[in-house]
Amino acid sequence: MHDAASFPVTEAYRGMRLDRFLQRMVPRMSRASVQAAIATRVTLASGAAAKASRRLVVGDVVAIGPSAAAAACDVLVPTLCDGGGWLVVDKPPGLACTPSSRRPGADVATVLGHAPAHRLDRFTSGCLLLARDPATARALARAFRDHAVEKDYLAVVEGVPDAPWFEVDAPLGVDAASRVTGKVAVTARGAPAATFFEVLARRGDRTLLRAQPRTGRRHQIRAHLAHVGHAIVGDVLYGGDERRFIRLQRGQPIDVPPGLQPGRHLLHAARLAFPDPGTGRRVEVHAPLPADFGLWPAPGAVS
């Protein structure tokens, strides 16, 4: 899983700069990540020196080797379904989807060498769709934009909802009261956001829910559940005092529920359905319930 990703230079990319070529091939990589990769782990089959300004020639092959962090990140990323131009993997919690300066190389895009078509939070597990080539990436982006993709999540939350199902229709925007960049909250000036929830099982003061987001806002499920008083178990950003999240980011110890790694919130992308860009047929993929969800029954009748 730590093999290099290779990209042949075709006629469409004749004369393109190396850095811009890599951003086309791995569109989720940030510009800083591309520059860092060129400096440390990008090679050209022709033997030419890897420089950001290098103009590429047709027939050459650009390879990105794993970073030291990726090699040290000995994490299994199982493939759930392989469609040729795309694949769906079962992303483990704790592994980011895309590169970041905080954890260089410890992300799915770097480890597998393919671009995620969407994102899951670092500590969310389950179905993640990746594209192997730019044409497939563009087709999948259109599918998401056209609302042709269905996603079901499972979440273990604090408390017991009164109703067997409920919907949260509340706009989400930047949390102006938070010290954490990127945290969202329900706010009148936010973007429209709606999530449907169904109770699957109850155990003591915790509940297993199915969540179906109607929109695709950042942290939508987590923020909506916190808003209605049912924060996801283990969520250090939305489940109470956000200073715990800040301590986690600084590498400081925090208290966590038994059996969970620090930062892990019990949110799992259990089902993903989308049109195959190559055939147009409907594809439906399921990710098994992770071990850290405990002894919850399989989704079905409420207990």
Beta bridge partners of 184: 174
Of the three residues 121, 143, 165, the one that is the final residue of a domain is: 143
Same domain, 218 and 94: no
Cα dist from 239 to 5, 191, 232, whole Å: 38, 22, 7
Same domain, 17 and 137: yes
pLDDT at 302 over 80: no
Q: What's at 199, amino acid-wise?
A: V
Same domain, 91 and 32: yes
Tell me whether residue 300 is in a domain: no
pTM equals 0.76
Same domain, 53 and 106: yes
Tell me whether residue 298 is in a domain: no
Of the three residues 128, 143, 158, the one that is the final residue of a domain is: 143
Domain around 205: 149-293
Give the CATH number for residue 288: 3.30.2350.10
Tell me whether residue 303 is in a domain: no
Tell me whether residue 299 is in a domain: no
Distance CA 258, CA 118 (A): 30
pLDDT at 2 over 50: no
Of the three residues 93, 127, 143, the one that is the final residue of a domain is: 143
pLDDT at 3 over 50: no
Of 121, 152, 175, 235, which one is the catalytic site residue? Answer: 121
**pLDDT class of 65 with cuts at 50, 70, 90:** confident
Same domain, 117 and 208: no
Q: How many domains does the chain have?
A: 2
Same domain, 274 and 207: yes
Mean pLDDT of the chain: 88
Same domain, 117 and 163: no
Same domain, 154 and 31: no
Q: How many CB atoms lie within 10 A of CB 31?
A: 12
Same domain, 161 and 286: yes
Same domain, 122 and 176: no
**Predicted pLDDT at 129:** 97
Give the CATH number for residue 62: 3.10.290.10
* Core vs surface per residue 202-236: b (16+ CB within 10 A) or e: eeeebbbbbbbbeeebbbbbbbbbbebebbbbbbb
**pLDDT class of 101 with cuts at 50, 70, 90:** low
Based on the residue annotation, tell me whether 121 is a catalytic residue of this protein.
yes
